[in-house]
Structure 1
Amino acid sequence: MTRTPLEGIRVLDLSRVLAGPSCTQTLADLGAEVWKIEHPAGGDDTRGWMPPDIGGESTYFLCCNRGKKSATVDLKSETGRAAIRSLALEADILVENFRIGALDAMGLGYEALAEINPRLIYCSISGYGRTGPRAAEGGYDFTIQAESGLMAITGDPGGQPMKLGVAITDLVTGMNAAQAILAALYARDRTGRGQNLDIALFDSAVAMLANVASGYLQTGKESRRFGNAHATVVPYQLFDTSDGTLALACGNDAQFRAMCEAALERPDLPADPRFTRNRDRVDNREVLIPVLAEIFSGRATGEWLTKLETAKVPCGKVRKVSEVFSSPEVMKRGLVIEVADPVHGTLKLVRSPLNFSDTPLAEPTAPPRLGEHTDEILGRTVMEN
């Protein structure tokens, strides 16, 4: 039988909430055995984040903890700390998001654990990193979106700065942490040594500024909010139709010309020197956009989608979440999985977005109840040490 990518890799997960747990869920999807360590009194914070809930259990917790085993350990007790040290001897990876110095004070910091297990990859996730003027501060997605500049460039031009609808900096930080861990595993194959990884929400958020960051760094010009429009590509925004909203993404001059000639039946628009090139359209967006808005308002969304898709112009309908999960794309790609659960019978979860041609992912299992695997996980420290 073909092995999963991380079969045999063991992860000691001391993280909670979203960034760390989303990272370790990815590792679990890839086949690692993940030991989720939780405080006996309530466990991961997200177990209490509801509504929504299913039978009194938080659906938030369900989104980032599939495929793991949960053990309850009190890190304030010497017995609990001894158990973590024993698990660290066996682990390949440790992921944590405690305040700086907290685990060092318990004898569970990188230096202490690397001394007993030099092959350990120790990933620390924090708000502002383990160095710098704000290393001691906690980090929350909402404030990081504000302080990284992401919020300043999101929202209507005349409105308030706006956060994204999900905790995007947590999720991207989890992706960055997983990427760094996989690279560290590869490096360990060459060196035989683990290492300490310092992954920050703030760093991840600033890196997400992408072209906005590049534009400012090269020109010194402040970026502004464009709502659902694009700063440097036009037309690239939402348009109201007679029965809904259309997302239009004309990425180049050829697409704009095809849209006008084949879908809108307005060949005069790309022929107008104000609109021929993208740069011209950006400079004259205040003239062009009202013209397009009036045209799109005259037909239903479905009609426009047919016309635009025929013209090979990128477009889409603004869907509600319920429409997403009933869509043929979700169904054909198998993006929703149903896993057995001892309490609810089954749970529906979004599957891993990773796809391999030869190597299977781990068979998904339901997120664990608090302390469900305590005896199994801690029992191994007695048997093997």
Structure 2
Amino acid sequence: MACANDRLYRRLVMEVLNRPDLITDPQFATRKARSENKELLRAAIAEVFASDTLENWMAKMKLANIPVGYLRTVEEGFNAPEARERHRLNRIPHPTAEWVPNIEPPITMGMTGAIDPVAAPLLGQHTKQVLHDTLGYDERRIAQFAEKGAFGSAKPPTPG
């Protein structure tokens, strides 16, 4: 649920929660007051929410045009009917796992080209590139770091 402005907050407390006192009470009358008393406000709202099911509250908020949605785990996101119905599930090639599942962004922009998604980099995959391109280290300096164990186990000293 998101009530990012006074208009949405009023709609929530009047049309959904039926708690006009959460507007008239000076502790909640302004955004600043609500912020200063957020724990009290959260407790009052939680008490009202406890009186009905999540589904019913979400339906009421949707009717009142209050942004609301489920907070899901990654697994729940992949299993959500909305993700399947909107064809948002796909796979990304991965260098060691072959494929990894992916959820596409929920919006597309017609005037902006999309970039194909890529898997997260492997541990250390871009270390040398970042040291070189971003920090300006040359191959010799990067090799010195590697020999001292900066990227994992140090090389044993060569006898000599």
Q: 1:352 to 1:328 in 2, by over 3 A?
A: closer
Moved more, 357-366 or 258-267: 357-366
Tell me which amino acid in the other structure corresponds to 2:101: L
Q: 1:334 to 1:272 in 2, by over 3 A?
A: same
Q: TM-score, normalised by structure 1?
A: 0.26
Q: 1:357 to 1:267 in 2, by over 3 A?
A: same
> Which of 342, 347, 350 matches 2:102?
350
> Which of 304, 325, 340 matches 2:57?
304
Per-residue CA distance 1:110-155 (angstroms, 9 max, x = gap): xxxxxxxxxxxxxxxxxxxxxxxxxxxxxxxxxxxxxxxxxxxxxx
Q: 2:46 matched to which residue of 1?
A: 293
- Richer in strand (by share): 1
Secondary structure in 1 aligned to 2:46? Answer: helix
Q: Structure 1 CA distance, aligned partners of 2:30 and 2:56?
A: 27
Q: Structure 1 CA distance, aligned partners of 2:117 and 2:99?
A: 11
Q: Structure 2 CA distance, aligned partners of 1:287 and 1:362?
A: 45
Q: RMSD of the TM alignment (CA)?
A: 3.5
Q: Structure 1 CA distance, aligned partners of 2:20 and 2:66?
A: 15
* Higher alpha-carbon Rg: 2
Per-residue CA distance 1:53-84 (angstroms, 9 max, x = gap): xxxxxxxxxxxxxxxxxxxxxxxxxxxxxxxx
C-alpha displacement of 1:306:
0.7
Secondary structure in 2 aligned to 1:294? Answer: helix
2:37 is the alignment partner of 1:284: yes
Work out the number of aligned pairs and report it.
Answer: 117
2:18 is the alignment partner of 1:265: yes
> Which of 74, 84, 87 matches 1:321?
74
Q: 1:283 to 1:331 in 2, by over 3 A?
A: same
Q: Structure 2 CA distance, aligned partners of 1:365 and 1:275?
A: 46
Instruction: Answer yes or no: is the 8 Å Cα contact 2:90–2:104 preserved in 1.
Output: no
Q: 1:322 to 1:362 in 2, by over 3 A?
A: closer
Tell me which amino acid in the other structure corresponds to 1:306: A
Tell me which amino acid in the other structure corresponds to 1:277: T
Q: Structure 2 CA distance, aligned partners of 1:308 and 1:364?
A: 34
Instruction: Answer yes or no: is the 8 Å Cα contact 1:339–1:348 preserved in 2.
Output: yes
Q: Structure 2 CA distance, aligned partners of 1:307 and 1:268?
A: 19
Percent identity between the two aligned chains = 31
Matches within 5 A, 1:22-41: none
Instruction: Answer yes or no: is the 8 Å Cα contact 1:249–1:313 preserved in 2.
Output: yes
Per-residue CA distance 1:164-213 (angstroms, 9 max, x = gap): xxxxxxxxxxxxxxxxxxxxxxxxxxxxxxxxxxxxxxxxxxxxxxxxxx
Secondary structure in 2 aligned to 1:350? Answer: strand
Q: Structure 1 CA distance, aligned partners of 2:112 and 2:5?
A: 37
Q: 1:334 matched to which residue of 2?
A: 87
Instruction: Answer yes or no: is the 8 Å Cα contact 1:253–1:276 preserved in 2.
Output: no
Q: Structure 2 CA distance, aligned partners of 1:307 and 1:274?
A: 25
Q: 1:305 to 1:365 in 2, by over 3 A?
A: closer
Q: Structure 2 CA distance, aligned partners of 1:360 and 1:271?
A: 48
Tell me which amino acid in the other structure corresponds to 1:350: N
Q: Structure 2 CA distance, aligned partners of 1:329 and 1:285?
A: 32
Structure 2, unmatched stretches of 5+, are 120-160
Secondary structure in 1 aligned to 2:72? Answer: coil
